């Protein structure tokens, strides 16, 4: 398992001290979020304008009613801040970017899927909660990180074999699940204060039994996708 390393493009930039303990990763997320002075506009992303498309590995949870209920409750409490809530049928954990449709062929995607299938770890579960955030979003902490890192590592190895390595190495991967995106520059303190009042909510256990290769697209201030392939974990 590759060690996590500091990366200024990741959030938090520094990795947590322990990727096996959900309490450690959650506390690390919260410390990084509370240290922010300003939040940035999530949608100001070069090369990712409205209508942009790209292939990604993701974990999706379309039928998880407990996650949906938690997301709706948090989004209602956050609504006065004017963030862009993630549609409840669009909740996801982003794993790795593969490439754009004009740069990746169907043959490469099929080859990648076969290589990934041979390397996938066993099914696992992770805990979503408590609420925290980043420079551009309010999001749920996840834990433990270790099985997610192992899954990312398998995707990275298969991507390298297929000539489609992920944009970020596993050493810079920081697992999370976003509930709302920040859409303008603003002081972080009011958002941090609101989020702090939601951190005692019960955690949701997420069952991860498959990984999805999707064609992700931006539609205004939301992400939508079509599943290219769904690969069950072993």
- 22-44+51-220+227-232 has which fold? Cyclic Phosphodiesterase; Chain: A, (3.90.1140)
- 27 contact partners, CB below 8 Å, separation of at least 6: 16
Q: Which residue has the tokens 């790795």?
A: 96
β-partners of residue 225 are 216
Q: What is the pLDDT of residues 104-161, one digit of tens each?
A: 999 999 999 999 999 999 999 999 999 999 999 999 999 999 999 999 999 999 999 8
Categorize the per-residue pLDDT at 2 as very low, low, confident or very high, splitting at 50, 70 and 90: low
Contact 136, 42 (CB under 8 A): yes
Dist. CA 140–CA 136, nearest whole Å:
13
Residue 211 has pLDDT above 90, yes or no: yes
CA distance 208 to 59: 8
The residue among 137, 195, 180, 176 whose CA lies nearest residue 26 is: 176
Q: What is the pLDDT of residues 65-91, one digit of tens each?
A: 999 999 999 999 999 999 999 999 999
* Residue reference for tokens 């949608």: 43
Residue 174's pLDDT is 97
**Could you tell me where the beta strands, DSSP code E, fall in 101-148?**
124-133, 137-143
Q: What is this structure's pTM?
A: 0.95
Alpha-carbon torsion angle 54, 60, 62, 64, nearest 10: -160
């Amino acid at each position: 398992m590759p060690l996590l390393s500091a990366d200024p493009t990741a959030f938090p930039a520094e990795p947590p001290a322990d990727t096996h303990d959900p309490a450690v990763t959650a506390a690390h997320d919260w410390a990084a979020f509370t240290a922010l002075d300003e939040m940035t506009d999530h949608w100001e992303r070069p090369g990712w304008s409205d209508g942009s498309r790209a292939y990604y590995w993701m974990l999706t949870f379309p039928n998880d009613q407990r996650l949906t209920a938690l997301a709706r409750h948090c989004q209602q409490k956050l609504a006065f801040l004017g963030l862009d809530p993630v549609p409840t049928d669009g909740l996801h954990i982003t794993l790795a970017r593969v490439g754009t449709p004009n740069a990746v062929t169907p043959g490469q995607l099929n080859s990648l899927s076969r290589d990934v299938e041979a390397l996938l770890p066993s099914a696992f579960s992770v805990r979503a909660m408590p609420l925290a955030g980043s420079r551009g979003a309010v999001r749920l902490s996840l834990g433990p990180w270790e099985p997610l890192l192992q899954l990312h590592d398998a995707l990275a190895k298969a991507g390298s074999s297929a000539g489609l390595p992920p944009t970020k190495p596993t050493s810079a991967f920081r697992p999370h699940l976003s509930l709302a995106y920040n859409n303008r520059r603003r002081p972080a303190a009011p958002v941090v204060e609101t989020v702090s009042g939601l951190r005692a909510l019960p955690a949701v256990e997420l069952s991860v039994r498959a990984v999805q290769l999707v064609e992700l697209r931006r539609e205004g201030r939301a992400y939508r996708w079509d599943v290219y392939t769904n690969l069950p974990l072993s």
